[in-house]
């Protein structure tokens, strides 16, 4: 079973597009919350993301992993595949 991956985005955000491209390249199914201009949704995201309001914000199995740079850092370090293979207990 695969990990539960969620990503909060804006439709025109280049970092969001880049993060989704990596997930797509890896064949990851994810839930996207496109929150363009929705401040209530952004507040909920920030609550989950320890106050971070930048986009994207990415969660794997409810664990906040950060944004685009952090996602690519996990990929470069070889840690991303392990996180994506863990299913929710």
**Exposure pattern of 38-51 as b/e (b: 16+ CB <10 Å)?**
eeeebeebeeebee
- Beta-carbon-side half-sphere exposure of residue 45 (alpha carbons within 13 Å): 27
**Architecture (CATH level 2) of domain 5-81:** 3-Layer(aba) Sandwich (3.40)
Tens digits of per-residue pLDDT, 31-87?
Answer: 999 999 999 999 999 999 999 999 999 999 999 999 999 999 999 999 999 999 987
Global confidence as pTM: 0.93
Going from N- to C-terminal start, the domains of the chain cover 5-81
Q: Give the separation between CA 25 and CA 62, rounded to whole angstroms.
A: 22
pLDDT on residue 79: 96
Beta carbons within 8 Å of 41's beta carbon, 6+ residues apart = 8, 33, 35
Q: Whose structure tokens read 């944004």? A: 67
Tens digits of per-residue pLDDT, 19-32?
Answer: 999 999 999 999 99
């Amino acid at each position: 079973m695969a990990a539960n991956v969620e990503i909060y985005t804006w439709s025109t955000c280049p970092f969001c597009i880049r993060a989704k491209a990596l997930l797509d390249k890896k064949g990851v199914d994810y839930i996207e919350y496109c929150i363009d201009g929705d401040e209530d949704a952004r507040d909920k995201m920030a609550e989950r993301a320890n106050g971070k309001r930048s986009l994207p914000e990415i969660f794997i199995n409810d664990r906040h992993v950060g944004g685009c740079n952090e996602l690519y850092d996990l990929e470069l370090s070889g840690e991303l595949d392990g996180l994506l293979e863990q299913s929710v207990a």
